[in-house]
Structures are given as structure tokens and as C-alpha cells.
Amino acid sequence: MKIFRIRNVLKVIVMFFPLALIILSSYLMSVSDTEVKVDDRFIYGIIITFIYMGISRLDDTLSYLKCSINRTYIIVLGATIILSCFNLIMFTHIDTGFSYSFSKLPKFGINPVYFLLLAVYIIAYKEELDDIFAERDEFSSKGEEELFQSDIDIYTERYRNKSEIELREVLDKSECYTEPAIVAVKRLLNDKTGDIQKSRDE
């Protein structure tokens, strides 16, 4: 439960960090006594930030598309952070990393701050990324039933340490999870319910 709350906090940080930098930079530009030349990469950063923020809001309002929107948001957010790691987009009006420019190629470089943000993103969305990029070996010699059971076992181990509340939250968003994941969650919930009943009987 504690890990679940920490990840939720990290998700909020990852979401709002670029927006906070944009607001701060806009304020500094407005109070500056000298004319500030805005880098195009800052404009790109503003546009992409509002795109992923918009997708996250759609996630709350369009429940029937919740699964696809949620995954789209996670992918767009991750791509945004990766682009910022190499200074292809910026969330500040000044270059805060190490940028290089060669001939007509776009400026690029390295920004350690966003590599740190990328690490936080991976930690916060680890389970979601595992589900998005999970692949099944198409050339496996196992039968479909064995593959299905194998997937259930994998999800059972992954979710074994989750609390009952967290497991029920997965069921509430069942459209965003694979069938083996839902079967595993139901079995774990039955086990937890059975353990509670046994302790009461004793």
C-alpha cells in the first residue's frame, strides 16, 4: 500500500514538473527588463505538454475510452521526457543542458535533469509499461491453454504483494488489463478473503 502511494506521488511529479517549469519560465520572461529570444524548442515543449495534459484530462471524462487513452497518455508522456533528455524540446526559455548544433541539423544535447525525470517516470509507471510492452512469444511450442496459464502465473506473482484495495482497483479498471491479469487478481482476492474468513473462524 505504501509503495502504491509513493508511485502515485511520483506520477503527479512527473506530470506537473514540465508544466511548472513552463509557468516559471513564462513568469521570468514577463518580468525581464531585456528582450528575451525564445527558442523554438521551448515552443515545442509547451505544445507537447498541453497535448499530454489534455489527454490526461480526457482520461477522466471519456470513461468508455479509458484504457486506450490511459495508454496513449503514458506513451506520449514518456516520449516527451525522452525528447527533453536530448534537448530536442525544452520546458524553459533558456537552454539548461548541454546543446550542440551541426550545420542544418536541429539542436540537440544532453540534459541530466530530464534523465533523472525519466528514471522517476519508469519507476512510477513500471506496472503500466510492463503491460503495454508485454509480448508473447508467437513461436512458442506451448499450447494456447499452457500459455494462458503461464500468463496467469506471471501476473499472480506480480500482484501477490498488493493489498486487497489495490487488487479491487485493478478490477475496477479491468478494461485496461489482459484477461490473465484479471483471472490472477480474482484468484488472489479469493485467497485473501479465504484467509480472513479462516482467521475469524479460529
Bridge partners of 108?
100
CA distance 108 to 41: 10
Report residue 85 CA to chain centroid gap. Answer: 16
Range 170-177 average pLDDT: 80
DSSP string computed for the chain: -HHHHHHHHHHHHHHHHHHHHHHHHHHHHHH-SS--PPPHHHHHHHHHHHHHHHHHHHHHH-GGGHHHHHHHHHHHHHHHHHHHHTTSS-SSSS--SEEE--TTSPPEEE-HHHHHHHHHHHHHTHHHHHHHH----TT-SS-HHHHHHHHHHHHHHHHTT--HHHHHHHHHTGGGS-HHHHHHHHHHHHHHHHHHHHHHH-
* pLDDT tens-digit readout, 82-134: 999 988 888 887 777 776 666 555 667 788 889 999 999 999 988 888 777 76
Q: What is the pLDDT of residues 150-168, one digit of tens each?
A: 888 888 888 888 888 888 8
CA–CA dist 41, 11 (Å, integer): 24
pTM (2 d.p.)? 0.64
Instruction: Please indicate whether residue 1 or residue 171 has the higher confidence score (pLDDT).
Output: 171
Q: Which pLDDT score is estimated for 81?
A: 92
- Give per-residue pLDDT as tens, 29-72: 888 777 777 778 888 888 888 888 887 766 655 555 556 667 78
